[in-house]
Amino acid sequence: QVQLVESGGGLVQGGGSLRLSCAASGRTFTSYSMGWFRQAPGKEREFVAAISWIGGSTYYRDSVKGRFTISRDNAKNTVYLQMNNLKPEDTAVYYCASRRGGDIYTAARNYDYWGQGTQVTVSS
């Protein structure tokens, strides 16, 4: 079992930055690949970014490339999502997710554990 707790969300003006954190506890963090997803009101949950369990591989959805950076600190059992140049369309609840193994997946069904989510609101 893995427990995930997100933090760092909030209200920010367009063009601003936020850093989300996801603290993991439970089983060996380094054996899990990690992902960030988001869900806006009335929309389906969508993939944002993922990082392999070693941290050498990352993958992003096209709309956040060059603006968001996913990273992990295995010593702290924490994964981060640095979000720069935020836009109103980035407004959503952001979820951290984990899956056992080293591969990166973009589909939510491939992830085994989820956090409770943190709200990100970007004003225009």
Predicted confidence (pLDDT) per residue in 21-73, tens digit? 999 988 666 678 999 999 999 999 999 999 997 767 999 999 999 999 999 99
Contact 8, 19 (CB under 8 A): yes
List, in sequence order, every residue forming a beta bridge with 11; answer none if it has no partner. Answer: 121
Question: What mean pLDDT is reported for the chain?
Answer: 93
- Pairing type for strands 78-83 and 18-26 reads antiparallel
